Amino acid sequence: MSEAGSIGGDGWYSSAHRLPSPNFEARPGGIEPTLIVIHNISLPPDEFGGGAITEFFQNRLDHSAHPYYDRLRGMRVSSHFVIRRDGAVEQYVSCNERAWHAGLSSFFGRERCNDFSVGIELEGSDSSAFEAAQYASLNDVVRATMQRYPIDALAGHSDIAPDRKTDPGPHFEWLRLQNGCELPLQYFPYLAKA
Ligand SMILES: [Zn+2]
């Protein structure tokens, strides 16, 4: 678990472990984020714990350490946040900057979602439930993000890149997030649509 915190003017969350990634750039035109994108990630796939996610986001993954890592060679990615299985929050990129989590994507026709979103990765997979501690920390991070930025929607990676991505997957409980953050359904346009 981690304590609820706030996001400062520098875009860093007070309750996160800061693990800066070099994989970011300025948001074009200095626009503020209006979208939160929820993901899942585990490295190796379906294995939790260990340092591979951090190493991957910091471009220092040992690609010979696991057969799956071979396909990650040369990839430069990051996310603003990673929420570990025990609820610990890690931050890799200031929310003021553009992290590289969404890739080719479209939010109701608006492309390049990285330009205008904050990315939150839950350590997990499409084949297992997330932990209560992760939902608790996710609520805190979402609330803090919404206090700092004019967020008006939350979506899954699979919503904005449906041909390529399946995360956060069938085990992610959108209504649990909605209730936990006490947000009207209008903040979840893909949920409202379904
Ligand atoms: Zn994703």
Ligand 1 centroid from CA 7, angstroms: 22
- In tens, the pLDDT along 86-116 reads 999 999 999 999 999 999 999 999 999 999 9
Cβ atoms 57, 79 nearer than 8 A: yes
The answer as to whether 167 is a domain residue is: yes
Q: Does 77 score more than 80 pLDDT?
A: yes
The answer as to whether 12 is a domain residue is: no
Question: What's the pLDDT band for 34 if we cut at 50, 70, 90?
Answer: very high
The two tokens of residue 29 are: 């035109």
Q: Does 169 score more than 80 pLDDT?
A: yes
The answer as to whether 78 is a domain residue is: yes
Q: Give me the number of domains the chain comprises.
A: 1
The answer as to whether 7 is a domain residue is: no
Cβ atoms 88, 15 nearer than 8 A: no
The two tokens of residue 165 are: 């991505």
Report CA torsion sign: 48, 49, 51, 55.
positive
Model-level pTM?
0.97
Ligand 1 centroid from CA 164, angstroms: 9
- Residues 160-184: what's their mean pLDDT? 97
Distance in angstroms (rounded) separating the CA atoms of residues 101 and 83: 14
Residue 54's SS3 state is helix
Distance in angstroms (rounded) separating the CA atoms of residues 83 and 41: 10
- In tens, the pLDDT along 116-125 reads 999 999 999 9
Ligand 1 centroid from CA 107, angstroms: 14
Q: Which residues of 103-131 are buried (b: 16+ CB within 10 A; e: fewer)?
A: eebebeeeeebbbbbbbbbbbbbbeeebb
The answer as to whether 27 is a domain residue is: yes
Query: What CATH number has the domain bearing residue 186?
Result: 3.40.80.10
Structural domain for 156, as ranges: 17-193
**Active-site amino acid positions:** 121
The answer as to whether 5 is a domain residue is: no
